[in-house]
Amino acid sequence: MSYRSLLKATDGFSLTNLLGVGGFGSVYKGILDNDEKLVAVKVLNLLNPRASKSFKAECEVLRNVRHRNLVKLLTACSGSDYQGNDFKALVYEFMVNGSLEEWLHPITPGIDEARESSRSLNFVQRLNIAIDISCALEYLHRGCRTPIVHCDLKPSNVLLDDEMIGHVGDFGLARFFPEATNNLSFNRSSTNGVRGTIGYTAPEYGMGNEVSTSGDVFSYGILLLEMFSGKRPTDVIFEDSLNLHTYMKAALPGKVEEILDPILVQEIKGERSSSYMWNSKVQDCVVSVFEVGIACSAELPSERMDISEVTAELQAIKEKLLRSEDMGTHEVQVVLQS
pTM score, whole prediction: 0.87
Give domain 100-337's CATH superfamily.
Transferase(Phosphotransferase) domain 1 (1.10.510.10)
Question: Do residues 256 and 287 touch, judged by C-beta distance below 8 A?
Answer: yes
The chain-wide mean pLDDT, for the chain, equals 86
Contacts of 18 (CB under 8 A, 6+ apart): 26, 27, 28
Residue 182 has pLDDT above 50, yes or no: no
For the residues 177-198, what does the mean pLDDT come to? Answer: 52
Residue 152 is a catalytic residue: yes
pLDDT band at 208 (very low <50, low <70, confident <90, very high): confident
The reported pLDDT for the residue numbered 206 is 83
Residue 190 has pLDDT above 90, yes or no: no
Distance of CA 228 to the CA centre of its chain: 13
Q: Give whole-number Cα distances, 125 to 112, 205, 209, 220, in Å.
A: 22, 31, 35, 17
For the residues 205-232, what does the mean pLDDT come to? Answer: 93
Rounded Cα–Cα distance for residues 105 and 333 (Å): 27
Residue of 132, 152, 170, 216 marked active site: 152
Rounded Cα–Cα distance for residues 110 and 284 (Å): 30
Question: Do residues 311 and 134 touch, judged by C-beta distance below 8 A?
Answer: yes
- Span 119-166, pLDDT tens digits: 789 999 999 999 999 999 999 999 998 899 999 999 999 999 999 999
For the 3-93 domain, the top CATH level (class) is alpha beta
pLDDT band at 195 (very low <50, low <70, confident <90, very high): low
Instruction: Give the residue, 171 or 337, on which the prediction is more confident.
Output: 171
Instruction: Give the residue, 327 or 46, on which the prediction is more confident.
Output: 46
28-32, 61-65, 120-124: segment of lowest average pLDDT: 61-65
Q: Give whole-number Cα distances, 221 to 153, 216, 247, 266, in Å.
A: 10, 9, 13, 24
Contacts of 329 (CB under 8 A, 6+ apart): none
Rounded Cα–Cα distance for residues 192 and 280 (Å): 48
Instruction: Give the residue, 47 or 336, on which the prediction is more confident.
Output: 47
* Domain locations along the chain: 3-93, 100-337
For the residues 21-49, what does the mean pLDDT come to? Answer: 90
Contacts of 208 (CB under 8 A, 6+ apart): 189, 190, 191
The reported pLDDT for the residue numbered 108 is 61
Task: State whether residue 298 is helix, strand or coil.
Answer: coil
For the residues 197-214, what does the mean pLDDT come to? Answer: 90
